[in-house]
Amino acid sequence: EAGVAQSPRYKIIEKRQSVAFWCNPISGHATLYWYQQILGQGPKLLIQFQNNGVVDDSQLPKDRFSAERLKGVDSTLKIQPAKLEDSAVYLCASSLWTNTGELFFGEGSRLTVL
């Protein structure tokens, strides 16, 4: 069974530039999550999708972050314009059920903003 795929693995941009991350969840997993993990911290939920609908985006900085999952499968997370404090690893995860907490994570996309 293929795991959660993410790209790119690494990205370096200057502040005020834009960046996009892509995620393809495990086949059949209806729930998809984007987490932000700052160095030395645990993952923090940015947005949760159930199929192609948003379940929770309460911690997404909507003035600069956007995410979509148009066909209920893969997803993109965009940051525009980026700030220095956005430097982090962006983790995508998927789960079969929404109420178990059993998430499967991708390897993450490491963003450095200069």
Partner 1 sequence: GQQLNQSPQSMFIQEGEDVSMNCTSSSIFNTWLWYKQDPGEGPVLLIALYKAGELTSNGRLTAQFGITRKDSFLNISASIPSDVGIYFCAGQARGSGGSNYKLTFGKGTLLTVNP
Residues that bind partner 1 (CB under 8 A): 4, 40-45, 48, 50, 55-56, 91, 93, 98-108
Query: Minimum CB separation from partner 1 for residue 74, in Å?
Result: 17
Instruction: Give whichever of 50 and 112 is closer to partner 1, judged by the CB atom.
Output: 50
Query: Minimum CB separation from partner 1 for residue 16, in Å?
Result: 28
Instruction: Give whichever of 22 and 105 is closer to partner 1, judged by the CB atom.
Output: 105
Contact 2, 63 (CB under 8 A): no
Report DSSP state, residue 64: T
Q: Provide CB contacts within 8 A for 100, sequence distance 6+.
A: none
Instruction: Give whichever of 14 and 85 is closer to partner 1, judged by the CB atom.
Output: 85
